[in-house]
Structure 1
Amino acid sequence: MKSAARMKSMVTVNRKRIFLCILLCLSLTYFFYVKSLICFPKVPTATPWGAPIVWEGAYDSEEENRLHQKQRTVVGLSVFAINQYLESYLADFLVSANIYFMPNLSCVFYILTDRPDDVPDIELRPGVSKVILQVPKRGRWQDISMLRMRDLLELVLPRAVEKVDYLFCMDVDQIFTSNYGPEALGELVAQLHSGYYLSNKEDFTYERDPRSAAYIPPGKGQFYYHAAVFGGTPSRLFNLTSSCLKGILRDKEHNIEAVWHDESHLNRYFALEKLPQKVLSPEYCWDNRLWLKFHKLVWAKKLYSKLRV
């Protein structure tokens, strides 16, 4: 009996210790999160060229919605679901986008895939339609990533220019978690990479090989942008995708491949043109492997060993 009572007492003590450890971890996480918000010199609320950097709480969401509803703004969302990315990620992406992406506006979802018959039949909210576009099969995941600039230029933008006022281009391995609203809209919109937004410029993974069309000279560039999210008006995106595709194809002719593929070319375009007109905080594309953070869109679990073969 004494042994059983002692065992029960030890279990109770261990539970209390585990609870206190969890509580301590959460408290420290919250402390460093709040501290990062207060002590935040490295990421301002505007770029040196005057473009706003959009953070939660820095805008009036009701006013943004009223403005764009009055203008009857239509927003496009393009997503690539190639090979096994379709079965691994597309359903979750579409279900969450249907709930949280521009929830008070009309939208068109452009789904680019090499397997159109396998696109899940998701019931969309009123005011949202989808367009399924077939793209060529490409063997290397690097080519799938880079040549999406060609697919956007040749397949999406000619259709979008007649249908939408703004278009976002996103990776499929992400999940919307809260309202991703019209405060994110702009002529040309870029996404701060959640892994680099507190890093020194010297640590940015720009392409540094001068032979590449994605080359960014030392001293150039203010931010590191994530190619998982970018957007703007169709005309602005035409210029962006044309420039990136031109650089990608030039590199291919010289048997060169930029260190981060299309993302390297995207950063080159933004860095040297002193663009974009609006920048989204990491809240709009957050890596959940980092610390606790409010977010609107998060990375899904990366299955690179399965998908990048």
Structure 2
Amino acid sequence: MSRPVIWIPRRLSDATLDRARRDYEVILKDEDTAGTADEIIALSAKVDGMIPCHSEHFSADVVGRLDPRLKIVANHSVGLDHCDIPALKSKGITVTNTPDVLTDATAELAMLLMLGAARHAVAGDRVVRSGAWDFWSPAFMVGKQVTGSRLGIVGMGGVGRALARKARGLDMEIHYHNRTRLAPELEGGATYHDSLDSLLEVSDFLSLNCPATAESTGMMNAERLAKLPAGAVLVNAARGSLVDETALVEAIESGHLAAAGLDCFVTEPGGNPDFARFDNIFMMPHVGSATVKTRDAMGFRALDNLDAFYRGETPGDAQ
């Protein structure tokens, strides 16, 4: 019996590729670049399944042109905003993702963003690296203390809860807004806010850890940024579309926000070149899950979903 043929458009971890090649006929792109709409459509006639990343977009138009041979899209990502899930389902294509396994790595990155933004990591690294550090004063690079501050978390899913656990190690006071209140054992003593505006008013640091949806797109606009306490720090390790980037620049320029830590942007790859003007915007290139352990776990989770599908079972992460 021939093995299913799968397409892997990006360079996944070595362990993932070894396992995939063991169990499937694998078509791997020569270059580690995002799969285009034309590539996705063309390959759909040659493969039974795909393991795309967030960089491959399955819009309604693309899905409408997919070959009937393609039966499963086993995403190597948690987020699914790059997939038109109703369109894929209507085409009879199973869609899966890789939740849970990148929780701690992404929460670690959010902590890095928060600390780096609060303590002038961009300017500090530059002055030392350039050899320009020839001065010291008690007023030199005075930042915002994280320990004991109030952390507001928007979205208390797995990443939000992991961030809260880590932040408690810094004696932070945890507040959160979620669609529904968590059970007491999951709250861990955090204070629930039934409205986003209520959370904003008490957040010395605000971390966005919610999915991108039609309702959440642009939710951190000028009006909401203004509701944060003066000198607050915004952290986004979720999706760039959550933030109105023009409003963020204005809040930084006015001094209302002390700093921002960003791992994601409206335009990816590339980011927002206007942010580069500000040493108090600490940026990473959307690498929240980029650890060896997590990349292996994400790849194996995608393969677990493929394995279940080809055993005739419903994958555990089917949408």
TM-score (norm 2): 0.30
Instruction: Select the structure with the greater relative contact order (CA < 8 A; seq sep ≥ 6).
Output: 1
- From the two aligned structures, give the one with the greater helix fraction: 1
